[in-house]
Amino acid sequence: MTSIRLALVGLGKIARDQHLPSIAADPRFTLVAIVSRNAELDGVAHFTALADLLASDVAVDAVALCTPPQPRHALAHLALAAGKHVMLEKPPGATLSEVEDLRLAAAARSLTLQTTWHSRYAVGVEPAREWLAERAIKAVRINWKEDVRVWHPGQDWIWEAGGLGVFDPAINALSIVTRILPRPFFLSKGVLHVPENRQSPIQAELDFRDAAGAPIRAELDFLQTGPQSWDIEVDTDDGQLKLTNGGAKLYIDGQLIQEGPDREYPGLYDAFARLIADGASDVDVSPLRHVADAFLLSERVAAPAFVE
């Protein structure tokens, strides 16, 4: 397979921390351009707008969109119209209808579109799915609590409409549970705590039930200080499963079963390369659908103003 000439659109924290190292480590990709209004990368062609890149003589096969979700629909449409494969950082869009529109656009042009749920590639996730497939689920608890000032410093877009607030990190938990639980689940009720000076929630409590009635409780917090919590516990008829560290460690009845190095983003790029080679797409909106349900069904309560 010839090298996939890739352009990275957006050069913020997630692009620098995860995308650049993963691209450099995968010989199937060659980074040929950066699109960013605020940053450049030595030795790589730089453009301040995707349209300028697409109009240039720089040959590109695929683009990875690492922008905030709000402008991503227009950028993805531009890339697809130009015949480029597209990787969408999570969340894949600001709305479900945007992602569905992109799915149809990619299919019409026989191009690859990938929605990226990186937490599903944590080393404990697939073993957890396999273990739970043979057991009856009794209850699930999700604790996803981190400090927004540490992980999203100065990122005002996350508080705007479409930025998702606390659901930007918590959608990772939803991506895991939609993968590992053997039955679908549905929101019963929820509470969203929205700072008086912001548009998106900073904390949330959600109650779901799966198709057999098992309760699923999610407690989400963007104000956690000290140790951060990215944990999922599942009680079954045959013991308790626990994923910690965002899925990096898997415990069964308190015994460590699986752990390993962070391979989430290398896993995404491996999948992207294989999808392109196969002429296929992977468009899964199930985590985003649960976020949309939370915004639709939950009670909204005022929280103190958020100041960084």
Tell me the catalytic residues: 90
What is the longest distance spanned by two Cα atoms in the chain?
60
| Pair type for strands 229-236 and 215-221 | unpaired
| Cβ neighbours around 14 below 10 Å, total | 17
Q: How far is CA 100 from the centre of its chain?
A: 16
Q: Which amino acid is at 137?
A: I
Side-chain half-sphere CA neighbours of 224 within 13 A: 20
Cα separation, 209 vs 263, whole angstroms: 31
Burial of 293 (0-12, 13-18, 19+ CB in 10 A): middle
Cα separation, 185 vs 85, whole angstroms: 32
